[in-house]
Amino acid sequence: IKRKSISNYMIRPYYLFLNIKCIFIIHIFIFFFSTNLFANYNNLITPQGFKADLYISDISAPRQMVEGNKFIFIGGIKGEIFAINKKNTEIRYTLASDLNNSRGIAISNGDLYFAEVDKIWLIKDIDDVMNSIAQKDPELILFDNNLPSDAWHGGKWIKFDDRGRLYANIGAPCN
């Protein structure tokens, strides 16, 4: 006959308390950090002479952006690359879609580069492409497909330095 210790029964209320505490914390987190609260940019404190303003709000999970001549280009984590007209945000295009965890985006020598987990793509002469975007889709050129394919912390942010060298992170850029 196996005997149970009284200490086994005393531990259970502690675990029950932990479970209730976790559920409570999750609900508080959801309440206080909902997207409605994040959208309230009017309460941001900015340095003197600056102001915060909402440029665009309905882009799916934006992560990195770069400014071109007439467009702002945005890499979204949901696998899309967007081009938003700087003067009229109602004019917008999806340059690429169905990407694997896309994030990074950069411009160098007039060419647009964007990254997904294991690849970096290129659209040559992005200003010319945007001038004719209504007539034809942009040509996506594979720049590099020799990157690690691990999706866990595998998102790539990209940037060019002053000498034109492209940098991309391998692994999490934080933690």
pLDDT surpassing 70 at residue 105: yes
Contact between 22 and 15 under an 8 Å Cβ cutoff? The reply is: no
pLDDT surpassing 80 at residue 71: yes
Where does residue 129 rank: exposed (0-12), middle (13-18), buried (19+ CB within 10 A)? Answer: buried
pLDDT surpassing 50 at residue 34: no
pLDDT at 156: 86
pLDDT at 43: 77
pLDDT at 60: 79
